[in-house]
Structure 1
Amino acid sequence: MKKKKKSRGHHLHVQRKRRSRLQLSDLATNVLSSIVSRLSLRDAIRTSVLSRQWKHLWCDHPNLRFHLYMLERRRRRGSAPVTEHDLIALVNRVLQQHSDTGVDLLKVSCALHNEHAHHIDRWVKFAIASKTKAYLSTLGWPAGRPERYSFPCHLFGASNDDGSYLRCLQLSSVSLNLPAQGFNGFPNLTKLTMLDVKITDQHLECLLSKCSLLEFLGIACCTTLTTLRAICPLNRLKHLKVQDCRSVKNIEMNCGLITLKYSGPMVPLQFATTSSLRNVRINLFHINSTLRIFRRLSMISDNIAALDYITTGFPSTLQHLETLKFIYLRHLRLELNIFGGRKTDALDYAYLLDCAPSLEKLELHMCMQQCGHVPYREEHGELRSLPWHPHTHLKSVHITGFFGHKDQVELALHILRCSTMLEAMKIDCRVTIMPEDNHSLIYKTREYLDGYLVATAFVQAADQNNVVEVLGARKVFFTATDGSERFYFVS
């Protein structure tokens, strides 16, 4: 009897059936380990319950991040809150089971202090033994401000390999004291960040001298520092960020920066060279002032003396710099928080167009407090004009907080006159920035409407290329009872 020939469709069905039997567990162990390494640490540990094959796959996880949130999600409603002791137990348990190899990052985020030093020391030793590339310690301080944890720099001196694998180091709310001898430093460290770290000027200088490959240095809220100095050459240091170190009186670095971000009082800035400096962000405030003048800034800030600091004081601190020019600057965001007395003249900031000849986008956000609201009228006198030359790169301008004061009008007209390639200028009467310490400040609708009327009458009227758009208020037309068309303003 002749057998029936199986159809091609039957073979395809068998092939699909065979393919469906392929399981994830059939993959090689190294492939599975690679898959697990892409999960979060919490999810990677959970895979250990799947089977014996999966039980230890997570032990090679390269990114060890610990924070209380990992335990909060497991806490049942009504149970006791998660504490730092629970997180300490978790960290110790995980590190004990880890294979101790291939660790890229070890990060612990928890409010710990010197009482837990024996646990944290053990974690640092694990980072050294596992050749961790990034150690991030965001410890913070619990209530009551107990004694700070003293970071064990002495552990990085037992051999030449200690710390040599570390590329990134972030320390927060710790005390850092270098040993008198035997400290090898971090020869391959490229990024160092210190937040609220208690360290002396001498120890910081010594630390930097042992980080020859450093590319980024960030220091914030380190109140014990009075001088930030690096006499030894830091040829690879290109990015420096110093924020709210209110005791610092001088910054002297033997490097050539590309990016400088500084927030604090006016201090001398000295660098070996400024030929590569392209991105400067300065946020100036007075130490003894109860009002914090600025909230944030993208390049340059303003108070009564800040413009002088930009045009004369800041350049004078930079060796070999004769003229302040931001040749490579394309986008500038400037926040002017003008407080009381109207001693600041907005027209002075026309100088910034000369500073940045390649500027393409300018954002000018103003916030005026207790300045007296006097919108410009023709009887207030003729508008001033400054000497100017064409700016051939500026294409976009955005001004906010425009109340129609005379110097605001003069600045807007100067920008409009100089910018030969301008494609769009938006003038918004509404305030988009607020100081941190005055959230209750509310501007009246009248100020917005006056700004709208002045911007329309003097700036938009001078626009010959139809690029000016005035925002923040608008005309609403209606028909009166007598049949005539009238309008009113809404903001």
Structure 2
Amino acid sequence: MGLLELNRLMSMRQRRRHRKIQSRSMSIASPAKRKGSLGQQDDNPQARKRRKYSLPDLPKDIWHDILSLLSLSDVARAGCVSHTFLSSWRSHPNLTLSKETLGLTGNACGQDELAQIFTNGVDCIMKKHSGGLKTFQLNYCGSFSDTSHLNRWLDIAVTPGIEEVKLSMPIGCNAVYYDFPCSVLFSGSGTHSIRRLHLSRCAFHPTAGLGCLTRLHLSQVHITGDELGHLLSNSLAMEELTLHGCDNIIRLKISCLVHRFKCLSVFDCTALQVIENKAPNVCLVRVDGALEERLVGDLSQVKELQMLDYYECGVVHYACSKLPFIMPNLETLGLSSAGEMLSTPILAVKFLYLKKLRIDLNDGQMGGFSPAYDYFSLAYFLDACPVVERFVLSVSQTRVKHELISDGDSNMRQMLGHRHCNLKNVRIMGFCSAKSMVELTCHILENATSLERLTLDAMYDNSSYGDADRSCVGKKGECNPKSRSIIMHARKGLWAIRKYVMEKVPSTVQLSVKKLCKRCHKIK
């Protein structure tokens, strides 16, 4: 929110206050008297100057309400020009402290000096703040060797009414450098109000539960499975847990007492062997790796699953073979695989409720694409999803190893008896000239009777582009760099679209073909 929005809010507050004053007034000045008063003010330059530059005479609580809607940087600027704004700045309910908010980006001083400037700046802000915080976010960039002031800042921040605490230690900081003081959470008044806790690159050893805690995000945090399990079982309002890079957790138990628990995300926890889930209402799971090897318990109630692993091969084959039995009620499924050695099998059991399917095949890490993998076999997956409405296929390949379609090739395979009656939106990124991919696309066009939109992009890129030419969208005025071979494959993919796909698009289907950037995707 900028100064324009601030002026609007000020005007609204003024009008409301003036209406109240007028309605309560018992006498109204005569028109002549008012006119004379105005005339006298107009004749006085100093009065005109005060009327032009002075702030409206509003109660402090109204100013606090207005400024609480502004960003921290805007409030700080306002505090430099007015004592009224300064008092509101010192009671701002949302503090986000980082190098960016303190204006230290691009600073020419050394790391030690930068750390000292950051520490002094945050210390000054925290000492002068009057309390009453709702959210406190600190991206620390001070010295690793001296973190004593962090405890003092947290003591000031975690007061009655606080709802969110987010602490992020610097990248490269080992978790042993800072032990988060659990006393500020479990013995203070903030215990009864904190709802969201996000910790990165520190040690955390909770000894009790947090009654109002709904979201817990731990990234590269030193915590054991027993400590985390004890915290969860005593935080009955918990709804969402995210673990990333927490390498000291070997076994995690989620208690059946946590009835509100809905979302579980676990990534890159290398030592984690088993997650024993007894929470009855988990509906969203995000994991890396195969489910059966790590997650145990009743998962039949799960409605959304994201299996995101760019180092694991065969994720799609695993999903087809196992998931209909483990999670029969899935409505949304996202799969990321480092490559598929085996083609998609015919599914013995269908996903009866699956509406959104996304498959991301990426050989950038493992190079796991087998020339024998058949994109056309994904039609079996679609056939096993009778109510699927949206299908997204993303393929990232450093080189296409499959049989390429050739000019005049008319020997296209078909799957008779397959109908995808509910499929409405299909998007394929990284469309190449592999014959099996062209066959899959033509199969969808011929058998998706409710198809409304087909989007084809010969370049693998998750950025959002318009329907026509790309424009240089990067921060440096250019697209993400691509190798010569990738650009060549993209051009062949566009040729295959024009040659074999466009003629099969029904008039009821909106076709969008993403073109290459005229500037960045030239062959030099």
Q: Same fold (TM over 0.5)?
A: yes
List per-residue Cα deviations over 1:202-236 (Å, max 9, x = no partner): 11111211221112211112222233331333211
Sort the Cα spacing of 1:175 and 1:323 in 2 relative to 1 into closer, same or farther, 3 A.
farther
What SS class does the counterpart of residue 325 from structure 1 fall into?
coil
Aligned AA for 2:395?
Answer: M
Deviation at 1:453, TM superposition (A): 4.5
Matched, 1:140 2:165: no
List per-residue Cα deviations over 1:297-330 (Å, max 9, x = no partner): xxxxxx4x21222112344444999956372634
Distance in 1 separating the partners of 2:237 and 2:493: 52
Residues 269 and 317 of structure 1 are in contact (CA less than 8 Å); yes or no, is this contact kept in structure 2? no
Aligned AA for 2:351?
Answer: K
List per-residue Cα deviations over 1:242-268 (Å, max 9, x = no partner): 222233333332232333222356643
Q: Decide which of 362, 381, 385 is 1:337's aligned counterpart.
A: 362
Sort the Cα spacing of 1:214 and 1:375 in 2 relative to 1 into closer, same or farther, 3 A.
same
Residues 113 and 139 of structure 1 are in contact (CA less than 8 Å); yes or no, is this contact kept in structure 2? no
List per-residue Cα deviations over 1:91-131 (Å, max 9, x = no partner): 2222222222x210111112357633421122222233344
TM-score, with normalisation over the residues of structure 2?
0.71
Distance in 2 separating the partners of 1:320 and 1:82: 56
Q: Decide which of 200, 212, 217 is 2:241's aligned counterpart.
A: 217
What SS class does the counterpart of residue 397 from structure 1 fall into?
strand
Distance in 1 separating the partners of 2:154 and 2:176: 19
Residue 268 of structure 1 aligns with which residue? 294
Q: Decide which of 335, 351, 357 is 1:325's aligned counterpart.
A: 351
Residues 253 and 271 of structure 1 are in contact (CA less than 8 Å); yes or no, is this contact kept in structure 2? yes
Residue 135 of structure 2 aligns with which residue? 105
Deviation at 1:375, TM superposition (A): 1.7
Matched, 1:372 2:379: no
Residues 270 and 319 of structure 1 are in contact (CA less than 8 Å); yes or no, is this contact kept in structure 2? no
Q: Decide which of 109, 124, 128 is 1:93's aligned counterpart.
A: 124
Aligned AA for 2:225?
Answer: D
Matched, 1:408 2:437: yes
Q: Decide which of 156, 160, 165 is 1:126's aligned counterpart.
A: 156
Where in structure 2 are the equivalents of 1:7-406 lying within 5 Å? 21=51, 23-48=54-79, 50=81, 53-72=84-103, 83-100=114-131, 102-112=132-142, 115-141=145-171, 145=174, 147-158=176-187, 161-178=189-206, 183-255=207-279, 256-264=281-289, 267-275=293-301, 277-286=302-311, 303=313, 305-318=314-327, 325=351, 327=353, 329-330=355-356, 332-338=357-363, 339=367, 340-372=369-401, 374-377=403-406, 382-406=411-435
Sort the Cα spacing of 1:464 and 1:113 in 2 relative to 1 into closer, same or farther, 3 A.
same
Aligned AA for 1:269?
Answer: L
Q: Which moved more, 1:34-43 or 1:374-383?
A: 374-383
Aligned AA for 1:63?
Answer: N
Structure 1, unaligned runs of 5 or more: 1-5, 287-292, 294-302, 475-489
Aligned AA for 2:294?
Answer: P
Aligned AA for 1:96?
Answer: K
List per-residue Cα deviations over 1:60-104 (Å, max 9, x = no partner): 21012211224335998789985223222222222222222x210
What SS class does the counterpart of residue 192 from structure 2 fall into?
coil
Q: Decide which of 475, 478, 493 is 1:451's aligned counterpart.
A: 493
What SS class does the counterpart of residue 203 from structure 1 fall into?
helix
Residue 344 of structure 2 aligns with which residue? none
What SS class does the counterpart of residue 363 from structure 1 fall into?
strand
Residue 480 of structure 1 aligns with which residue? none
Residues 106 and 134 of structure 1 are in contact (CA less than 8 Å); yes or no, is this contact kept in structure 2? yes
Sort the Cα spacing of 1:109 and 1:14 in 2 relative to 1 into closer, same or farther, 3 A.
same
Deviation at 1:149, TM superposition (A): 0.5
Deviation at 1:282, TM superposition (A): 1.5
Deviation at 1:52, TM superposition (A): 5.1
Deviation at 1:335, TM superposition (A): 2.2
Q: Which moved more, 1:211-220 or 1:224-233?
A: 224-233
Q: Percent identity?
A: 23
Residue 482 of structure 1 aligns with which residue? none
Distance in 2 separating the partners of 1:315 and 1:134: 38
Sort the Cα spacing of 1:410 and 1:59 in 2 relative to 1 into closer, same or farther, 3 A.
same
Sort the Cα spacing of 1:394 and 1:11 in 2 relative to 1 into closer, same or farther, 3 A.
farther
Structure 2, unaligned runs of 5 or more: 1-30, 331-347, 464-479, 517-522
Q: Which moved more, 1:205-214 or 1:406-415?
A: 406-415
Equivalent pairs, count:
444
Residues 300 and 326 of structure 2 are in contact (CA less than 8 Å); yes or no, is this contact kept in structure 1? no
Aligned AA for 1:184?
Answer: A
Deviation at 1:138, TM superposition (A): 1.1
What SS class does the counterpart of residue 171 from structure 1 fall into?
strand
Distance in 2 separating the partners of 1:72 and 1:87: 10
What SS class does the counterpart of residue 397 from structure 2 fall into?
strand
Distance in 2 separating the partners of 1:74 and 1:318: 47
Deviation at 1:41, TM superposition (A): 3.5
Sort the Cα spacing of 1:60 and 1:346 in 2 relative to 1 into closer, same or farther, 3 A.
same
TM-score, with normalisation over the residues of structure 1?
0.76
Aligned AA for 2:91?
Answer: D
Q: Which moved more, 1:456-465 or 1:114-123?
A: 456-465
Distance in 1 separating the partners of 2:80 and 2:456: 61
Distance in 1 separating the partners of 2:85 and 2:502: 69
Deviation at 1:439, TM superposition (A): 6.8
Deviation at 1:342, TM superposition (A): 1.7
Sort the Cα spacing of 1:392 and 1:265 in 2 relative to 1 into closer, same or farther, 3 A.
closer
Aligned AA for 1:307?
Answer: V
Residue 296 of structure 1 aligns with which residue? none
Residue 484 of structure 2 aligns with which residue? 442
Sort the Cα spacing of 1:53 and 1:356 in 2 relative to 1 into closer, same or farther, 3 A.
same
Residues 505 and 511 of structure 2 are in contact (CA less than 8 Å); yes or no, is this contact kept in structure 1? no
What SS class does the counterpart of residue 342 from structure 1 fall into?
coil
Q: CA RMSD in A?
A: 4.1
